Amino acid sequence: MIKPSSIALTLIGLLALSACAPSPQSLGAADAVSVAATDASNKAADHDTRPPHIKEYMTQPAMLVFSKTRSFRHDEGIAGADRFFAEMATERSMGLFTTVNGAVFNPEQLARFSLVIFNNATGDTLSPEQEGALQQWVEAGGGLIAVHGSGDASHTDWPWYDNDMIGPEFIGHPAAPQFQEARLVNLSPDHPVMAGLPSEWQQTEEWYSFDDASKIGDARILIGIDEDSYSPRNDVYGDVKDLRMGGGPKGHPIAWLRCSGKGRFFYSAIGHSFKAYDVPQNRKLLSNAIDWATRKTSSPQDNC
C-alpha cells in the first residue's frame, strides 16, 4: 500500500516542476523563434517530400487519382471512386496512377498526366510548393476533377483551390437521416458534360449545402437540387441547423465547372458512398466530365 505521505510528496514535486516550466508569456525572443520553428517543422512533416515511383512505361494519356486525407476520410466513397475511375481509364485506354502521396504534385511527374482527380481528398494535404505546381499545371491546360469531400470546408489553407475553384464554402449536410432521396435538376442541358442526362431525376446522397451560391462566380452550374424534395436540416450536430440555400435548384448547386487559365475544373458534391458510383446518372455525369476535362468535348461557351 502507498503511504499518504508519499502521495503528498509526489504532488508537491509535480507542482514545483510545473511552477518552474516557462509559460508562453515568459519565453524570450530566442525561445519564441525556436517554438515557431518547431511548429513550422511539424507542419512541414505532415506533407510528403519524396515523390512516388511511377513506372517508366505508363500508358499515355494518363489520369492521376489522389485520395490523401488529413480531415474526414470517406473510405467507402474513395473505394467506389477508385474502382469507377479505373473502369473509365480502361474504357479510354488511358494510363492510371492512384496515390495518397502529395509529393506527386511536382512539375516533372505532373507532366505525365492529362487529368488529375481529387477523390474525396480532404484537409491540408499539399505543401505550398505542391499546391503551386498543381495550379500552374491546371492553368497551363490540365484538367482537374474533384468529388464530394474534395469540396468540403477543410481546404481553406489553399485560397486558389478553396475560393477560385470550389467557390462556395461547405456548411453542412443533413443528419437523421443523413442519406436522403432528392430531386436533381439539369441546369445546363446544352453542355457536353450533361449530354445524355435527363432534365431531372431522383438520387440518394449525403447532400452538401454551401454558404452562398453567388460565390460560384463565373462557374457554369450543371446540376441543382430541389430543396422541397428532401429535408435540408441537421439538428444533430454542428453550428448550422437549417441548411436551405434558397433560390430554387439554381440557388443550391451540386455540380459545376469552370476554366482556370487554359485549364478545366469540374466539381460534383456527389460521392459519399461507393453506391454513388453505381448510379447510372452519376456514372454518365463523371464520364462526360472526364471527356470535357481532357478536351474530347467542348461547348461554344467554354473559354479554355
Q: List Cβ neighbours of 128 (8 Å cut-off, separation of 6 or more).
A: none
Q: What is the pLDDT of residues 273-292, one digit of tens each?
A: 999 999 999 999 999 999 99
DSSP letter string over 9-70? HHHHHHHHHHHHSPPGGG--HHHHHHHHHHHHHHHHHTS--SPPP--TT--SSEEEEE--BS
Q: What is the pLDDT of residues 53-88, one digit of tens each?
A: 999 999 999 999 999 999 989 999 999 999 999 999
Q: With pLDDT > 70 as the criterion, what percentage of the chain qualifies?
A: 85
Q: What integer is the mean pLDDT of 149-154?
A: 96
297: pLDDT strictly greater than 80: yes
Distance CA 204, CA 135 (A): 33
Supply 253's cell numbers.
Answer: 448547386
**What is the value of pTM for the model shown?**
0.86
pLDDT of residue 45: 62
Q: What integer is the mean pLDDT of 256-272?
A: 98
Residue boundaries of the structural domains of the chain:
62-293
In CATH terms, 62-293 corresponds, of 3.40.50.880, 3.40.50.300, 1.25.40.10, 3.30.470.20, to 3.40.50.880
Give me the amino acid identity at 86: A
